[in-house]
Structure 1
Amino acid sequence: MRHLLIIAVVLLCTSCQQKITTDDLDLLNGYWEIAQVRMANGETKTYTINTTVDYIEVTGTSGFRKKVYPNLDGTYDTSNDAEQFVLTEGPKGFEIHYKTELSEWTEQLTTLDENSFSVTNAAQITYSYKRFEPINVQK
């Protein structure tokens, strides 16, 4: 009986998770800030204030991510450094494959909607992002 209960809970959890489609990938476009990091051991760190924001631009199944620094007037400072990536669909959903001059890595896109997304890396660390709301202080 206990095994049936465990199987039912697992099926319920997996059936409730919405599958990310190719059409959903455009939702990644825009400015994102880290909200939370969950380590492989279950520890979490929540971020309430971020000095940098990730700008992501996706066209089809490729794109780039770069760090930007928001200013109080609603503008951003940035460098020309960008991390190029390719999105591929695998058995577990979409993977983001990054490649820079110094490194290569892959993250599993685990959730995605218009206001948030999360990725999990090879070390089983999950990064949760929320859409960035700029602060605009007028003089």
Structure 2
Amino acid sequence: MKRFFLIGCAFLFLGCSSRVSVDDLNKLNGYWEITRVTFADGNTKEYKVNTSVDYIKVEDRKGFRKKVHPKLNGTFETSDDAETFTVVEEGKGLSIRYKTELSEWSELLTELDDDVFSVVNPEGIRYDYKRFEPISIQ
């Protein structure tokens, strides 16, 4: 009986978790580094050090994401390549829909605050990010 109570509490907690709102989208702006990938089977891959980070800019539910490479002097090396996206409201919450010349895909935005965000793709793979903090050696 105790086990059923604990399982019920877990579902209640997960079911009541707050969804990301459109008003939170400006928190995506800035530099982010991946911290963990959780695969659909529950296995995880941790990222302790990243040689590239993602720069995200969003305004009015439209934006872009590009890979940049931080340098020791506090600047970034980048290219002109970017993935454009739109944010749409769906029954499950907010989805980020990407479109490039080669592909289209979407990710459900499951968590977003000033310091972290997470997305889940249709295959059930979760990507966790934290705000990038540059190291400057001058």
Q: Same fold (TM over 0.5)?
A: yes
RMSD, aligned α-carbons? 1.5
Tell me what 2:12 maps to.
11
Segments of 5+ residues of structure 2 without an aligned counterpart are none
TM-score, reference length from structure 2: 0.94
Task: Report the AA paired with residue 12 of structure 1.
Answer: F
Cα separation, 2, equivalents of 1:126 and 1:9: 19
Shift of the alpha carbon at 1:12?
A: 2.4
CA distance in 1, matches of 2:14, 2:39: 21
User: Which residue in the other structure is 2:43 paired with?
Assistant: 43
| Offset, 1:9 | 2.9
**Alpha-carbon separation, structure 2, partners of 1:90 and 1:77:** 35
Length-normalised TM-score, structure 1? 0.93
Partner SS for 1:80: coil
Kindly indicate whether residue 97 of structure 2 is the aligned counterpart of residue 128 of structure 1.
no
| Amino acid across the alignment from 1:10 | F
Unaligned runs of 5+ in 1: none
CA distance in 1, matches of 2:52, 2:65: 12
Q: Please give the alpha-carbon distance, in whole angstroms, between the structure 2 residues aligned to 1:24 and 1:111.
A: 10
Kindly provide the CA deviation profile for residues 36-70 of structure 1, in whole angstroms up to 9, marking residues without a partner as x: 00001100011010000000000110100000000
Where does structure 1 differ by over 6 angstroms across 4 or more consecutive aligned residues?
A: none
Report SS of the residue matched to 2:65: strand
